[in-house]
Amino acid sequence: MEKLPLTRAGQKMLDAELRQLKSQDRPAIIRAIAEAREHGDLSENAEYHAAREKQSFIEGRIKELEGILSRADVIDTSKLSGSIKFGAHVKLLDEDTEEERSYQIVGEAEADLEKGLLNIKAPLARALIGKDEGDSVDVRTPGGTKSYEILEIKFG
């Protein structure tokens, strides 16, 4: 079974979501299904069908999170240093727009671009791996090639 790299923060976030689903969301949806059943004819009961659909989503997400966490390879990024690798916090300068952006390179399960968490399998992350401060990287995107200068690398 393939190990999935996760940061400690990513592991905590996924653990918290799993606990929430199991301790609060699952019991709440079971109660909602029981209430909807009391309204009679299930074939025309929209509340019942919506609750069952939500239950299916919750159970699927629980299984997904349990699978991710069981295969997690949690990496302590505070002990890392040097060139860019998994867990690095990277500040980049877009050489075309002069805009600065910051990312942390993380595992696929915890990636969220809006929060600056860049999937290690993303083209930008793959281009950055092994590079050092001051290096420039070119990344092919659907909109054309983008150039970035690495301004800063931090771990932890």
From 5-14, 36-45, 53-62, 70-79, the region with the lowest mean pLDDT? 36-45
Q: List, in order, residues 6 or more apart from 85 with CB less than 8 Å away.
A: 105, 129, 130
Q: What is the pLDDT of residue 137?
A: 96
pLDDT, the chain, mean: 93
DSSP codes joined into one string, the chain:
---EEEEHHHHHHHHHHHHHIIIIIHHHHHHHHHHHHTTS-GGG-HHHHHHHHHHHHHHHHHHHHHHHHHTEEEE-GGG--SS--TT-EEEEEETTT--EEEEEEE-GGG-BGGGTEEETTSHHHHHHTT--TT-EEEEEETTEEEEEEEEEEE--
Q: What is the pLDDT of residue 138?
A: 95
Q: What is the mean pLDDT of residues 122-145?
A: 93
Q: What is the pLDDT of residue 141?
A: 82
- Binned at pLDDT 50, 70 and 90, residue 42 comes out as confident
Q: What is the mean pLDDT of residues 23-43?
A: 89
Query: In this model, does residue 43 exceed pLDDT 80?
Result: no
Model confidence over 82-131: pLDDT tens digits?
899 999 999 999 998 999 999 999 999 999 999 999 999 999 999 999 99
For residue 31, CA distances in Å to 17, 18, 61, 125 come to: 20, 19, 19, 44
Query: In this model, does residue 40 exceed pLDDT 80?
Result: no
Q: What percent of the chain has pLDDT over 70?
A: 100
Query: In this model, does residue 142 exceed pLDDT 90?
Result: no
